[in-house]
């Protein structure tokens, strides 16, 4: 099986090693990932700078470090390793959750999205850590993937679709199960903070505290907070089908 692995945490991140170890049991994966952390880059693409590639090895797999973002890495990886296409694109395992609206910012999710755009089945995986300085439970994500990978492969992903998975960063024996759920809402309070440098000049720092909308039942946010692995099918086709007819009625004059 031809598997391309990427992430947004960098080619040497521990999460990419998790994916490599699991994927090696099903084929001969090739890693193509950023040469450094590229978190929150979204579905960006490098167009006006050259992409440089450094070849190495990760977990016994051929690895290419690219001075770009995950979308670049998927396309460079396909060019170098799989010019005729591959069977699966894996992105992650991200150090931190990609839930709700976060998927629009996530470089991890963008890696899987680029796979889907190229017509390749794709999966993004994140380890949902919520407590700062808490040790990440990579072994939980690896064991869950190991036990469920064949089922994920067997699922026939629809055209322009991919899967987004979040594994709670808790002991494996504390997992309460797996839920297939829609995305929920994960928003931020005080997103931009005004600060001053030592010379009194204003600057702005973007971040903010996460506000978890856990009152929304049956979502990825609620499921992970309740100790379940969330699996969410995502579509790159963002057309609002329900609005097409009403918008046409509003904009297109009818002939009488």
The boundaries of the domain holding residue 170 are 3-184+216-251
Tens digit of pLDDT for each residue in 37-54?
999 999 999 999 999 999
Within 8 A by CB and 6+ apart from 33, the residues are 5, 6, 7, 10, 11, 13, 16, 63, 64, 65, 66, 70, 73
Residue 178 token pair: 């797996």
- Does residue 123 form part of some domain? yes
The domain spanning residue 243 has which CATH number?
3.40.1210.10
- The parts of the chain modelled with pLDDT lower than 50 are none
Counting the structural domains of the chain, the total is: 1
Tens digit of pLDDT for each residue in 203-230?
988 865 565 555 578 999 999 999 999 9
- Does residue 199 form part of some domain? no
Please state, in angstroms and rounded to a whole number, the distance separating the CA atoms of residues 105 and 193: 19
- Does residue 157 form part of some domain? yes
- Does residue 228 form part of some domain? yes
Residue 206 confidence (pLDDT): 80
């Amino acid at each position: 099986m031809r598997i391309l692995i990427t992430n947004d945490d960098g080619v040497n991140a521990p999460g990419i090693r998790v994916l490599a170890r699991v994927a090696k049991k099903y084929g001969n994966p090739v890693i193509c990932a950023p040469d450094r952390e590229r978190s929150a880059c979204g579905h960006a693409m490098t167009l006006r700078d050259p992409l440089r590639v450094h070849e190495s090895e990760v977990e016994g797999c051929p690895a290419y470090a690219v001075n770009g973002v995950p979308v670049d890495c998927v396309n460079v990886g396909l060019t170098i390793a799989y010019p005729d296409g591959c069977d699966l694109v894996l992105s992650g395992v991200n150090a931190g959750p990609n839930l709700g609206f976060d998927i629009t910012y996530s470089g991890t999710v963008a890696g899987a999205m680029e796979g889907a755009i190229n017509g390749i089945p794709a999966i993004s995986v994140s380890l949902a850590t919520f407590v700062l300085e808490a040790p990440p439970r990579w072994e939980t994500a690896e064991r869950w993937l190991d036990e469920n990978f064949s089922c994920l492969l067997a699922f026939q992903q629809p055209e322009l679709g991919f899967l987004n998975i979040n594994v709670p960063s808790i002991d494996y024996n504390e997992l309460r199960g797996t839920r297939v759920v829609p995305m929920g809402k994960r928003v931020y309070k005080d997103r931009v903070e005004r600060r001053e440098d030592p010379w009194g000049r204003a600057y702005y720092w973007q971040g903010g505290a996460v506000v978890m909308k856990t009152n929304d039942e049956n979502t990825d946010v609620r499921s992970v907070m309740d100790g379940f692995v969330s699996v969410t099918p995502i579509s790159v086709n963002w057309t609002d089908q329900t609005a097409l007819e009403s918008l046409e009625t509003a904009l297109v004059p009818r002939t009488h």
